[in-house]
Each structure stands twice: as C-alpha cells, then as structure tokens.
Structure 1
C-alpha cells in the first residue's frame, strides 16, 4: 500500500502508478482509500480533474519512505549482512557528496566485504555514467521520471530556494525584493535545472538582476557571500551548517514553491549492493 502511495507521488498520477505497480486503476484507488482510513484523514485532493496529494499526504511522504526501506531491510534479514561482497561505484554531486560519504563509512562494519567507491560530477554527467554502466548509481539533482527502461528514480529529499546573504547587508526589516535590487547578485548557472527555477522566481518577484558572475557550485557561491561580494538565491542545502555560520543568513522567499529534488538514480545492475547504500541514506534522512 505504501509502495503504491509513493509511486503516485513519484509518477504524478494514479494511472501512472498503476502501470508502474502492475495494478489496475481500481486497485490503486481502493488501496489509497484504505490508506486514508488507516491514517484517519484524507491524503488526496479530489476536487480537480486529476487526483493530487494534499498537504496531509505530503506530510507523511518521508515516514512512508522510511517504513518501506525498513521493511525491505527486514526481508533481507540478518543472514544477508555478511553475504554481500564486491565493489560498487556510486556518484554524487558536490553538494551531496558529504552526505553520501558519511553514510558509506557507516556501512564498513555491517558489510565488511562490500567496497563502495565514490566519484563526483555534474548531474547530467553522472546520469550518463549510470546509463553507460561506468558507475552503478548516483545521487543527483533531477526531477524523477517515468520510464519503461530498467532504471529506477527515487526522491531522497528536497531543498527549497532561499536568499543567501551576509548579515552585514541584510537587516531583519529589509524585504527580499529590496535586497535583490540593492546589492550585487551572484547567479546560479542559468542553464541548470536550479538556474532555470531561480530565473523564473526572479521573474515572479518582478526583479531584474545582472549577475556579477554565474557559478554552478553552491559552496563557492556561499564563500563569495561570506566575503560580502554579493548575495544569491540558492537551494537551502539540507546538510550544510549555515545556521551556525556567523557570516551567512538564509532567508525564505515569499511565493517560492519549487524545491530542488535530490534523487537516487540507478540502472539495476547490482541491485543488492546499491539497495544497501540507498537504504542507509533513507535511514539517515529519517533520523
């Protein structure tokens, strides 16, 4: 039931989820009505042409992913702990490499015979490497897709867009739009998925900016903001300690709804080994 629920969120519609789960549309609808009875609340908005997750449905997504991951781990059983061996190569973008590496290290004790090699790159390059078989899986920035190929997309977490500024240039009473109009702007690479959404957000805010430079590294942008070079709009990195940084503030932006999706992508070449890494990541996110 929870797998079907997650498939609806991932693929956008009950019909697409039914195809993915090899169920009839009626069976998917019946499962979701049962899930709503179990949760004692409505999880879907049925007022429009298509059925969409409502706020209550979105609020249990992370817990549903955790339960499914825990169930899969239970089925593998204790006997599998020392039975997985060999080498897998997992890629990640620079902004998510720290999260991936920290969790791979935790696998050394329970899976001593499993060797996980790490590599980094841009999301398009890592996606290409997974498809070509150069690497086994990757943590990338992408919208999950529906596909008939033996590939798997699973959303790990999301990062909202925020205004990143130096406290010296952003007093509490100043609005986001006024700050964008007053100070130099450091742009996120316009051709990237994130850059396109930043451009769209600036258009909705009716703010025209001329970036002093464009970069595709949030860490590099943050360092320039610390040096008071300018401010920027970037994803609020889930695993960055910005709240403890005296030279950075991350302000929420009114009217922004898009959240940068960080997803797990693989082609099913070494499913047992990659599942161990993926489930470790999901468990860490749940914690």
Structure 2
C-alpha cells in the first residue's frame, strides 16, 4: 500500500515541520522522503509544497488535505487492528443455553470457527434459573436464557435477543382451520407446561382469561417433548412458538395463534462481571443473524 506509506510520510512532515525532521523520525533518507512527496503530488494532481524559499513548506493545497489524510490513515490502521484482533481471539469460553435455544446457539458457534479458528466455545445446557446462577458465580461465561425484559447495569448485563408468542399446538388430524382455540382446548387432552416456570405461569393466566378449564394429562418443561407428543396426537398444548423451529412446514403440527394474547417469551443474553472479549464476539454473531 504505497499510497498509505506516502500519506504517513506526508503527515510526519506536517507534524515535525520539515522533510529532514520527518525523515529522521521515520527512518527514511531525505531523498526518499522527497521522492515520496513528488509521487504524492502526481497522484493528487496538484502541488502540495511551496519550494520557492530556502526550506520546503506545505502550501494551502497541502494543508487542505491534512484532515482527509489523517482519516484515511486512521481507517487503514483500524482495518489492520481488526484483522489482528481476529487472530488474537483465542482460548476457551463456556456459554450456556436452555434446551429450546441450544440449536440456534450451536449453529452460530460453528459459524464463528471459520473467522476465529483459535476460539474454543464450550456449550452447556440447563434451566434459565440454573444457568443464571452459574453465570453469577463464574462457572460459565454467559448464557442464552428465558427472562422478562429488565433494565440492568454492569456488572450484570441482560440484552434481549428475540421474542416468542404463545400459540396453540395441535395435530392437524384434530384441528381443522375453522376450529377455534377455545373449542379445541375444551375438547381434547391438554399437555401442560410446567406451571412453576415463567412460561407456565403465563399459560395459566391465559387459560384463565380464555375462561377455559383444563385438566392436564401431564406437565413438562420441554417444548420439544410437548411438540413430539402433539405429533403423536396425544393431546394439544399452549407453548411459545419457537423462533428457530420449522413448525409451519411440519405436516404433523398445526400452529394456531391465540387471539388476545400479548405476552411474549423473551430470550436474552445474560452475563455478569468482566467477561472475556470472546463473549462479545459470540453475542454479536447472534445479534447479526437475528437482524437479517
């Protein structure tokens, strides 16, 4: 990048006052500095120095491009630092996730290996409450968990990633298009979401607003397991619509929106205390994919 070298020499002359002083500071001969500046003038198609006196000085045209030269050099140096940073990110970190978000997290961690070959991300799964506790005691570096929106300050950090609305999940064999949510809930066995969980409390509140009484045949804290039982036509359920599950293309699942429901399950990034720089890389990867 000869143009960048010339600009750096040009800025050294402006800083130190003369070509001779600049040459001494940047370890070039006076002749080499002079040759670079004549080349820079040809590139810019204008004279940048006043050579009429005993010493060579910047003229008005030269002074007019100083800030632009600084901007270009700074951008180039920033680019090089970015490339260096890519190779400097290495070592091991551990990121936790709930079961329903693990596929999303794992897929993006795999993508990061291309850009950051020295980075080793270990994955851990568990409940949101357990993962948050592990983050706070330093057992893991960060986690993708379920939680309500919160305003946090360092050392605690919560950042919303995405939301999932509650939907009714049924087997298409028992759920014609014209069937209402209430009629299906009254007619078929109900597969409940664990009532003590955050999602479970909102499902219970929704059923109360719908004025529907259900007697769950079982209660689970796994959306994937509930969806599999629905596929087998064991019953129906109200669950968050997983953002990264292709339910709409599944011939054994019927997904019905629930009129009047406003609550959304919030999936967020949680970390605590001073974290390795690599955790920010993982978080940014998730946010970049979600923004597409």
Comparing both chains, which one has the higher relative contact order based on Cα–Cα distances under 8 Å and sequence gaps of 6 or more?
1
Structure 1 residue 198: Cα displacement: 0.3
CA–CA distance in structure 2, aligned partners of residues 258 and 144 of structure 1: 11
Runs ≥4 residues deviating over 6 A: 73-76
Instruction: Name the structure 2 match of 1:152.
Output: 157
Instruction: Name the structure 2 match of 1:190.
Output: 195
Structure 1 residue 83: Cα displacement: 1.1
* TM-score (structure 1 length as normaliser): 0.72
CA–CA distance in structure 1, aligned partners of residues 149 and 225 of structure 2: 27
Structure 1 residue 85: Cα displacement: 1.3
> Which of 89, 103, 107 in structure 2 is aligned with 1:102?
107
1:117-143 per-position Cα deviation (integer Å, ceiling 9, x unaligned): 001000000000000100000000011
> Which of 176, 180, 189 in structure 1 is aligned with 2:185?
180
> Which of 240, 251, 257 in structure 2 is aligned with 1:252?
257
1:241–1:154 Cα change, 3 Å: same
> Which of 263, 268, 288 in structure 2 is aligned with 1:263?
268
Instruction: Name the structure 1 match of 2:86.
Output: 81
CA contact (8 A) 1:136 1:269 kept: no
- Structure 1: runs of 5 or more not aligned: 1-72
Greater share of residues in helix: 2
CA–CA distance in structure 1, aligned partners of residues 202 and 187 of structure 2: 21
Instruction: Name the structure 1 match of 2:41.
Output: none
CA–CA distance in structure 1, aligned partners of residues 106 and 247 of structure 2: 20
CA–CA distance in structure 1, aligned partners of residues 191 and 85 of structure 2: 49
2:118 matches 1:113: yes
Instruction: Name the structure 1 match of 2:172.
Output: 167
Tell me the SS of whatever aligns to 2:281. Answer: helix
Instruction: Name the structure 2 match of 1:282.
Output: 287
CA–CA distance in structure 2, aligned partners of residues 191 and 260 of structure 1: 15
1:19-43 per-position Cα deviation (integer Å, ceiling 9, x unaligned): xxxxxxxxxxxxxxxxxxxxxxxxx
Instruction: Name the structure 2 match of 1:222.
Output: 227
Q: Which entry has the higher C-alpha Rg, 1 or 2?
A: 2
2:217 matches 1:212: yes
RMSD: 1.7
- Structure 2: runs of 5 or more not aligned: 1-77
* TM-score (structure 2 length as normaliser): 0.71
1:75–1:126 Cα change, 3 Å: farther
Structure 1 residue 184: Cα displacement: 0.4
Matched residue pairs, number? 215
2:140 matches 1:138: no
CA–CA distance in structure 2, aligned partners of residues 76 and 185 of structure 1: 57
Instruction: Name the structure 1 match of 2:238.
Output: 233
Structure 1 residue 147: Cα displacement: 3.9
CA contact (8 A) 1:123 1:141 kept: yes
1:75–1:186 Cα change, 3 Å: farther
CA–CA distance in structure 1, aligned partners of residues 137 and 113 of structure 2: 27
CA contact (8 A) 2:169 2:239 kept: yes
Structure 1 residue 79: Cα displacement: 2.8
Structure 1 residue 181: Cα displacement: 0.4
CA–CA distance in structure 1, aligned partners of residues 110 and 240 of structure 2: 26
